[in-house]
Amino acid sequence: MTTDKTAMIRIRGLKKDFGDNHVLRGIDYDIQKGQKIVLVGPSGCGKSTFLRCINLLETPTDGEIWLDDVKVNDPATDINKVRRRMGMVFQRFNLFQNLTIMDNITLAPVKLGILSKEEAKEKALQLLKRVNLQDKADAYPHSLSGGMQQRIAIVRALEMNPEVMLFDEPTSALDPEMVGEVLEVMKQLADEGMTMVVVTHEMAFAREIASRVLFIDEGVIKEEGSPEDFFTHPKNLRLQDFLSKVL
Amino acid sequence: MDSISTQFYKAFIRNDRWLLYVKGLGNTLEVTAFAALLGVVLGTLACLFNLQRSKSGKRTIGSYIAYVYIDVIRGTPTMIQLLIMWNVIMATSKNKILVACMAFGINSGAYVAEILRGGIQSVDEGQMEAGRSLGLTRNMTMLYVVLPQAFKNCFPSLLNEFITLLKETSIAGAVGLTELTHAADQVSSATYQYMMPLLGAAVMYFVVVKILSFLFGILERKLRESDNR
Ligand SMILES: Nc1ncnc2c1ncn2[C@@H]1O[C@H](COP(=O)(O)OP(=O)(O)OP(=O)(O)O)[C@@H](O)[C@H]1O
Ligand SMILES: [Mg+2]
């Protein structure tokens, strides 16, 4: 375990209980700028909880989360400012149902006074072009396929110029034929050097883009390693068992 | 007993009595409209405060106030609220319309708050989470994302509340306001016949309710179209 103070995200002794359910039981981890961290583990092991603690959608029961020199879970920290620096993509897209695609993307930067309406639109159009959806700017989320919605959800997060992107099973709610188009966008992002924390069951994808892969089980990180070591020489028995089921 | 046509003549035409119904209907509509407006504004605020929690998950002071307001208003008769408004709170005011608007608006607000709470709870939690994850505050996400969806979700219940409100204004005669029911009652007293004036008032209420439902139907369809659902 490194205790490198230069790491972009530092997680120390992270614990999260839901009542008597001790989901996270002490997690320490450092994420360097530009790294792509992939989290795997059995259903219900706390992968989402871990990810959601990083941007404080869940409040940790104990421990510390640092983003550079800001303690994220300090009550004195303006969490909204921190969240602007971290994009999140959800399993079920969560596009704003009452807004057009353009308004979905521009709402936050405009209302928060980060970009003017024109700047935000301009930028949104460029991002939409990148994912080949520039012709959907005026559509409403419900009229689009899951794959399109998820690509737009990624664009919506990118519009805020985040320093890190958190993905919680971004392809799990998609029909199989749409998984590829979303992974493709994520790959592009990874190639451009974005720092990413990804929960996924797409093992081939994990192998391809991951800097490090983590196996979370029983509330702790049971194994951590390069994708090569992680997938070909897993040491932990539970991980071996897990991989034999998903590979 | 007079013939039907004589009854009709006495109830509506003699002494230009129809003018009294028109005045009553006007007052009824005026009170309903302003009370509905006040009710939506108050109800939205009350609902938002009612749902407000501190970081530790406890009700805030505003939340308690909203809760008590909703609870007390829904737990007491509208007639008593109206009489208290007229005789106590606004006892110095001679403006019956204003008093009625206030009483019915405050009354309706409590019901709108509860309707809207249902509407907000039927909006997927992921909508709020997505807003928060982008750095929007809870209030901003509420205003721009959740509330618009909540209002649409509870459109039929809101229409119902407005219809109830319209009919409930018929008790405003108790403070001497000439709304539609009171107008019909005055005609009855003057002519010693009840069927025609009350039937006439009932028909007018009914027609207004139908028009209201029709307009809401159009509005609802518009909302759905713009939404591609
Ligand atoms: N808001 C909550 N309240 C209570 N319990 C919760 C809450 N969120 C998660 N849990 C519980 O915490 C545990 C971990 O949940 P989590 O969603 O983090 O798992 P996961 O690893 O993401 O699983 P999956 O692969 O199914 O998405 C589960 O037992 C779950 O029931
Ligand atoms: Mg999960």
Q: Burial level of B142, CB count in 10 A (0-12/13-18/19+)?
A: buried
Distance from CA of B149 to the nearest CA of A (A): 6
- CA–CA distance, B115 with B157 (Å, rounded to integer): 7
pLDDT tens digit sequence for B23-47? 999 999 999 999 999 999 999 999 9
**Mean pLDDT across A206-218:** 96
Token pair belonging to B157? 């219940």
Residue of A48, A101, A111 to mutate, testing the B interface (most B Cβ within 10 Å of its Cβ) = A111
pLDDT at B220 over 90: no
The residue behind tokens 């012709």 is A135
Confidence at residue B229, expressed as pLDDT on a 0 to 100 scale: 47
- CA–CA distance, B84 with B103 (Å, rounded to integer): 9
Strands (E), chain B: none
pLDDT tens digit sequence for A5-32? 789 999 999 999 999 999 999 999 999 9
pLDDT at A176 over 70: yes
pLDDT at A118 over 70: yes
Percent of residues in chain B assigned helix, strand, coil, to nearest 5: 85, 0, 15
Confidence at residue A184, expressed as pLDDT on a 0 to 100 scale: 96
Of A80, A82, A92, the CB nearest to B126: A92
CB contact under 8 A, B135 and A97: no
- CA–CA distance, B193 with B223 (Å, rounded to integer): 47
Q: Where are the alpha helices (DSSP H) in A55-100?
A: 79-84
Radius of gyration of chain A (CA): 18
Backbone phi and psi for residue A166, each to the nearest 5 degrees, phi listed first: -105, 125
Confidence at residue A3, expressed as pLDDT on a 0 to 100 scale: 52
- CA–CA distance, B80 with B171 (Å, rounded to integer): 10
- Yes or no: say if A197 and A65 are a contact pair by the CB < 8 Å rule: no
DSSP annotation of B60 reads P
pLDDT at B125 over 60: yes
Predicted TM-score (pTM) of the model is 0.90
For ligand 1, mutation pick of A48, A166, A203 (most atoms within 8 Å of CB): A48
The pLDDT-based confidence of A4 (bands split at 50, 70, 90) is low
Q: Which residues contact B171 (CB under 8 A, 6 or more apart)?
A: B78, B79, B82, B181
Q: What percent of chain A has pLDDT over 70?
A: 98
Confidence at residue A246, expressed as pLDDT on a 0 to 100 scale: 84
Q: Is A45 helix (H, G, I), strand (E, B) or coil?
A: coil
Q: Is A22 helix (H, G, I), strand (E, B) or coil?
A: strand
User: Taken in order A45, A18, A69, B139, is the CA torsion positive or negative?
Assistant: positive
Confidence at residue B221, expressed as pLDDT on a 0 to 100 scale: 87
Q: Where are the alpha helices (DSSP H) in A140-234?
A: 146-158, 176-191, 203-209, 227-232
pLDDT tens digit sequence for B11-22? 888 888 898 999
Distance from CA of A230 to the nearest CA of B (A): 31
DSSP annotation of A29 reads E
Radius of gyration of chain B (CA): 21
**Mean pLDDT across B157-184:** 94
**Mean pLDDT across A160-184:** 97
Q: Which residues contact A20 (CB under 8 A, 6 or more apart)?
A: none
CB atoms within 10 A of CB A38: 24
CB contact under 8 A, B127 and A84: no
Confidence at residue B226, expressed as pLDDT on a 0 to 100 scale: 64
- CA–CA distance, B108 with B169 (Å, rounded to integer): 11
- CA–CA distance, A106 with A118 (Å, rounded to integer): 10
| Residue type for position A174 | L
The reply to whether ligand 1 has any atom less than 6 angstroms from the CB of A46 is: yes
**ipTM > 0.85 (yes/no):** yes
Helix axes A146-158, A101-111, angle to 10 degrees: 20
Ligand 1 centre to CA of A23 (Å) is 8
Confidence at residue B14, expressed as pLDDT on a 0 to 100 scale: 83
**Mean pLDDT across B62-79:** 97
Q: Are strands A36-40 and A212-217 parallel, antiparallel or unpaired?
A: parallel
The pLDDT-based confidence of A1 (bands split at 50, 70, 90) is very low
Tell me which residue has its CA closest to atom 26 in ligand 1. A43
pLDDT tens digit sequence for B143-165? 999 999 999 999 999 999 999 99
Confidence at residue B227, expressed as pLDDT on a 0 to 100 scale: 63
Partners of A67 in the β-ladder: A9, A70
Query: By the CB < 8 Å criterion, does B124 face chain A?
Result: yes
